[in-house]
Amino acid sequence: MIDALRALQKRLQAEKRRDFNRRVSLGDLLTERKDNAAEMGFGEGTTCYDNVLILGDVTVGKNTWIGPNVVLDGSGGPLTIGDFCSISAGVQIYTHNTVAWSTSLGEQPIAKAPTRIGNGVYLGPNSVVAMGVTIGDKAVIGALSLVNDDIPAGAKAWGTPARVV
């Protein structure tokens, strides 16, 4: 059976390479990105790689692209992502943190707050959006940024922590 699976994987990888000049994980060979998004109830036209980690209360609008190796963690409350967003590879978006809980040896509760990404937002590769942050419509967040404060609509921000430029 393993040999048959390896042969199937090799054939599917060859087809993906021929059709799109890319190599993807086995899960992405066996699933369709539109179907993955639809299974989660995300908006029409939204796509989501198979290896995206989705936890808790996550809502995504229409025509949004969610890249590989993304974490969408709505376990601390609603995580809302709008329409026509690009969530680049490796982005992490949170609605909770365990800093006070950990450093108090469990005496403090896990911090929770909703996080909102507006419409038409671009989140650069490997950016992290902290709990409680709102990123306004049509904002651009540069690669490798830590967004720990709100970003207004139409702004461009990057850095650690991210600052509007």
Tell me: do 23 and 52 sit in the same domain.
no
Tell me: do 23 and 74 sit in the same domain.
no
**Under-50 pLDDT residues of the chain:** none
Tell me: do 88 and 139 sit in the same domain.
yes
Rounded-to-integer distance, Cα 46 and Cα 25, Å: 20
Is 118 part of any domain? yes
Tell me: do 21 and 72 sit in the same domain.
no
Q: For residues 130 and 145, is the Cβ–Cβ distance under 8 A?
A: no
Question: Which has the closest alpha carbon to 133: 101, 161, 87, 94?
Answer: 94
Token pair of 46 as six digits: 């939204």
Q: For residues 73 and 57, is the Cβ–Cβ distance under 8 A?
A: no
Tell me: do 23 and 55 sit in the same domain.
no
Tell me: do 81 and 123 sit in the same domain.
yes
Prediction pTM value: 0.92
Tell me: do 61 and 18 sit in the same domain.
no
Domain hosting residue 80, numbered range = 33-156
Is 163 part of any domain? no
How many domains does the chain fold into?
A: 2
Tell me: do 101 and 61 sit in the same domain.
yes
| pLDDT (0 to 100) of residue 22 | 86
Tell me: do 15 and 49 sit in the same domain.
no
CATH number, position 147: 2.160.10.10
Tell me: do 80 and 144 sit in the same domain.
yes
Tell me: do 67 and 129 sit in the same domain.
yes
Q: For residues 145 and 159, is the Cβ–Cβ distance under 8 A?
A: yes
Is 162 part of any domain? no
Token pair of 64 as six digits: 């949004």
Tell me: do 114 and 140 sit in the same domain.
yes
Pairing between β-strand 92-94 and β-strand 111-112 as defined by DSSP bridges: unpaired
| pLDDT (0 to 100) of residue 37 | 97
Is 164 part of any domain? no
Q: What is the pLDDT of residues 111-143, one digit of tens each?
A: 999 999 999 999 999 999 999 999 999 999 999
Is 161 part of any domain? no
With a CB cutoff of 8 Å and minimum separation 6, the contacts of 157 are: 139, 140, 141, 142, 145, 147, 151, 163, 164, 165
